[in-house]
Structure 1
Amino acid sequence: MGGYLTQDRAPILEALERMKRARLVPFDVPGHKRGRGNPELRDFLGEKCLDVDVNSMKMLDNLCHPVSVIRDAEKLAAEAFGAAHAFFMVGGTTSAVQAMVLTAVGRGDKIIMPRNVHRSAINALILCGAVPVYVNPQMDHTLGISLGMRVEEVKDAIRRHPDAKAVLANNPTYYGICSNLREIVRLAHEHGMMVLADEAHSTHFYFNDKLPVSAMAAGADMASISMHKSGGSLTQSSMLLCGPNVNAGYVHQVINITQTTSGSYLLLSSLDISRRNLALHGQEIFDKVIRLVEYARDEINAIGDYYAYSRELINGDSVYDFDTTKLSIAPDGPRGHRGLRPAARRVRHPDGVRRHREPPGLRLSRRPPEGHRAPRRGARGDPAQLPQGFLEDAQGRVHRAGGRLRSAGGILRREGVAAHRVDSGPRLQ
């Protein structure tokens, strides 16, 4: 590849464009022959897509043993993410997490990890025979979500298992909760343990200074990155990042145990293009995302009966930091979430009781109008017994509240921001 490698280059994309200009006639797999062998697939996906769904060839390099354009694209990715080496993964972040674990531990080795790890980490232990030492994450029982690992609990696990080989941490959890990763890295390295980070939900941490610390910046040894979740690449495309103290050659051998020999150039080029986009424009992209999410969060919290939480959850330990691009919405009654709703959304009444401030013209009070008798528990109410106009008034209030939610959601969807709903109980990543 000619010229210097700079972040405005996209080596895999450029190689595919050269291949298309060469007007090659395929006598190789895949069998759709760039759409001519499967017209229905071509009509659905389009010729541009199938034209670059090709097999490895000299001008396109080979994912199993990259020596040209894939190698160059991985070098640029490592530079953009602040890593010593980056590997392109086409088996999703599941394959990246499993490669991390298989690199760090073997049969009988111990690895410290939180209970709320992704299933890929557990499956990696099954494959290699390593033994998990679980740290139970704290819980927010009101929101029904698991939090991060407390530093003291990690320290205790290291004290009880000084022979452990590695510590695995979520950065962040599915709900945007971050542990004190810098301190966990310091503790682990002091005891000769590697630190692995599941960063399936934190591609954007690397490209904006208003977000929590990334694993590479915190000094972790390896990190798995879901580029497709918040980095803009195609689903199933991912990266595995390594720090300077990791043997990249050995990691590559481990990756090749399970990764396909038929790497998709659709996925590989999407990683290359998305890396370039984030390296050049990531700060402004995620500045905009943060502003949009803050707007939506404020609008939702102004409705009443809903709680979109944010940095007010931070306690310096099990919630050391929070990803403000996450928009999670929980039901919220008149008492609020343990008093943690933003202060700007609550007012103190003359009687001294703090209540939610409701926007003008939108009162979602649960108190029925005077004269209305509530039916006994379990009985069906008779609409005919309600005061005149009660149902119409209630329906109007609900309709206006729904309109506010739909409006905020519509703005976020147009800008490509995902909203997550918090269920009533905890869930796996």
Structure 2
Amino acid sequence: MRSTTLSGHFRHLVITGILVICFTAIFYTYYKLTMGWMPCTEELRPDVCTKACLKVLNVENNTQIFTHGTENTKKATQAIKTVEAGKDHVSEIVVLIWYWPFGEHFDLNSCESIYGIKGCRLTDDQGQLDKAHAVMFHIRDIRGDLPSLLKISRPPRQKWVWMDMESPTYSPHLIRAADLFNLTSNYRRDSDIWVPYGRLIEISDKDEPFQMPQKDKLVCWIVSHWNVNHKRTGFFNEFRKHINVEGYGKHFNRLIDPQDYNKVMSSCKFYLSFENSIHKYYITEKVFNPMKLGTVPVVLGPPRENYEELIPKDSFIHVDDFKTPQKLAEHLKALDQNQEMYERFFSWRKDYVAKSSVFGQEHACYICDHLRKHKSFSIVKDVNKWYFS
């Protein structure tokens, strides 16, 4: 009888102990929930919740659990949206255009719409000098202002950008320019902010399929700057002895109305894209304009390797590939008689279109983009030595 009583008492103690443990677990879990923690589920909190405890919680606090879970979910979702929105928020970069390059104005609000560069504010107001993150100087327009520029006090982190698109032959040396500039923007590939005269861009749905223009001229050349000392002048004088060239421009006393330029250019099978001076990477609009208009450029300039970094090797003809101007003339005549071979020069048009750079505008926008991506200290120790050596 006594053993039975003890056995029953022992079972009672065991049951009481289990209930205390369960109650403690329920209380702990309930307390965590009321503090806004993660809702207790067997999947997420197997160390605290048991199936028995969850049944009790679901009876007493189902509404509260649901409410807390919903509020937390909403708060978490809103937090995620805020973070994601912050990724698109871009602090404003101010680029001051000290002088309009060659006096030519462009749209100051075009960086995002044309180049997809956000958060840029371009200005030509020199009164904004203290607020500008960078100042773009077109060197051909400041050569007489250098003494006054040397006296300007500027913020330590403000970048002064040397900008030029002329070849070294036609660019001024800036006396006492050592350490004056922080960055360069130029057609050269080793410039800090590289802006070529043109690019080949992947074709899009907006682009019209290429159609070969009607041709009634074999070789054309538009030239106004005639200099007997130019390499192109000597080559041309010999070349024209072996083939007819339609000459336009001031030198030929045959000016073209700007409205007729595209029509004339597209009517030529070949165009003499002869540069006025020969320098590394100096490849100008003389190449990209005919390519845009369905004409094959015959180039005279830096080595073929430089051109092939910008345009397909089978999209142009280089004069260096021929021993003499006469050999080049004979090759162009042969292509004139073989339409299939001629059309191979336009194979690239299936995948790309040629675009010309907007002088000044593209430089200013890419300067802004560069400043956003690069925060490190930089200085051009001797811009003259870099560019003219």
| TM-score, structure 1 normalization | 0.27
